[in-house]
Amino acid sequence: MPWVFRTYRKASGRDDTQEWFGALAGKDRATVLNVLQYLRDAPRWTEPDYKSLHGKTAGMGELRFKFDGVQNRLIGFFGPYRMSFTIVLPVRKRGNSYDPRDWENTALKRKAEVEQDSGCTNVWHS
């Protein structure tokens, strides 16, 4: 059974992940889709494409990409459904600087929201 990718949708209907994806250059969008298609059928996710997070965001993980020297991360968690990974936030990382800066708190808040109301997600059709 393949994995299903979901994305967090704000109450306004905006989807940060889809907006991030839409703003990427064509070759970068293709890279993201290739990784998602690979992970969709992979029984175990490992580096370099996926890394489990620790500390404050333990229980979450990141899908990892690098475009033009800038590290991009799609922060998410396994759930709320069986065989689903929900992306709650795209993050850009340059050195020790993150955009958005408060990404950990935002990710945790959104994860809790999704766990309480799985209706605030979209299925990402890749």
Residue range 88-114, pLDDT digits in tens: 999 999 888 899 999 999 999 999 999
Q: Span 104-126, mean pLDDT?
A: 91
CA distance 2 to 4: 7
Within 1-126, residue ranges assigned H as helices are: 16-23, 26-40, 103-116
pTM value?
0.94
Q: Give the number of domains in the chain.
A: 1
CATH at 25: 3.30.2310.20
**C-alpha pair distances (Å), 82 with each of 1, 2, 79, 98, 106:** 10, 10, 6, 30, 23
Q: Is 61 helix (H, G, I), strand (E, B) or coil?
A: strand
Q: How far apart are CA 37 and CA 118, in angstroms?
A: 23
Q: 86 lies in which domain range?
A: 4-123
